[in-house]
Amino acid sequence: MTLRDVLSGHATEVAPRLLNAVITSEVDGAVVRLRVTEVEAYGGVGEDPGSHAFRRQTPRNASMFGRAGHAYVYFTYGVHWCFNIVTGAEGSAGAVLIRAGEIVVGQDIARARRGERVRARDLARGPARLTVALGITGEHDGTDLVQSPGVLRVEVPSGPLAEHLVGPRTGVAGAGAVTPWRFSLPDDPTVSPYRPASPRRS
């Protein structure tokens, strides 16, 4: 089974397999490698109320409907980029948000991007910090993460799934709030704290 085949499963099947996966970034020639410690799965049209793809395909979420193994990068809160790996069959929509990880190569580069005083555990602890540490922006939306060489690549561990925790996704409101599609490595200091969605102001 190829890596593309592995990533072609449903997001909830792929997500726990991405724990301990390694993502390599070679943005502007600077190599940073990250070990994934926390992810969230997002489903397709009519399936997952917490997903960008729940209602329909739009220009913003178009990459979610593409071929498995590509990047889906989106802008949120008018400030941050978030990085996802597209999963499932082409046209069905699905993705796994890479929420946190440990920088295992290129800490000096990640720290230059994030701040010289940032602790090692916090360099990529949370999806917005992670994209800054790896140098990922909207220009990387749609990047093939399987084809090598490439500016972004993913390597997924073989063998049995790592021991992991399962719970609701961070910051998801409404009908999708309680869906237990967040997967993380237990007791890993780089995992971000769980936060429920903030209530909307009237």
Q: Tens digit of pLDDT for each residue in 65-124?
A: 999 999 999 998 778 999 999 999 999 999 999 999 999 999 999 999 999 999 999 999
CA atoms in the 13 A half-sphere facing the CB of 146: 14
Q: Which residues pair with 80 in a beta bridge?
A: 76
Asked if the structure places residue 171 within a domain, the reply is yes
In a domain, 143, yes or no: yes
Q: Is residue 190 part of a domain?
A: no
Q: Give the position of tokens 């998801």.
A: 172
Can you tell me the distance from the alpha carbon of 81 to that of 22, in angstroms, rounded to the nearest whole number?
A: 19
What is the sign, positive or negative, of the torsion defined by CA atoms of 81, 54, 94, 65? Answer: negative
Q: What is the pLDDT of residues 131-186, one digit of tens each?
A: 999 999 999 999 999 987 889 999 999 989 999 999 999 999 899 999 999 999 99
Give the number of domains in the chain. 1
pLDDT category of residue 199 using cuts at 50, 70 and 90: low
d(Cα 122, Cα 157) in Å, to the nearest integer? Answer: 24
Domain annotation covers residue 194: no
Please give the residue range of the domain that contains residue 92: 3-184
Give the single-character DSSP code of 86: E
- Here the CATH number for the domain that contains residue 28 is 3.10.300.10
Q: Helices 107-114 and 127-134: crossing angle, nearest 10°?
A: 120
DSSP-derived 3-state class of residue 144: strand
Whole-number Å distance between alpha carbons of 94 and 86: 6
pTM over 0.85: yes
Whether the predicted pLDDT of 201 surpasses 60: no
Task: Give domain status of residue 195, yes or no.
Answer: no
User: CA 39 → CA 86, 125, 148, 149, distances in Å?
Assistant: 13, 11, 23, 24
Q: Which pLDDT belongs to residue 202?
A: 41
CA distances from 100 to 40, 175, 197 (A): 10, 24, 18
> Phi first, then psi: what are they for 167, rounded to 5°?
-165, -175
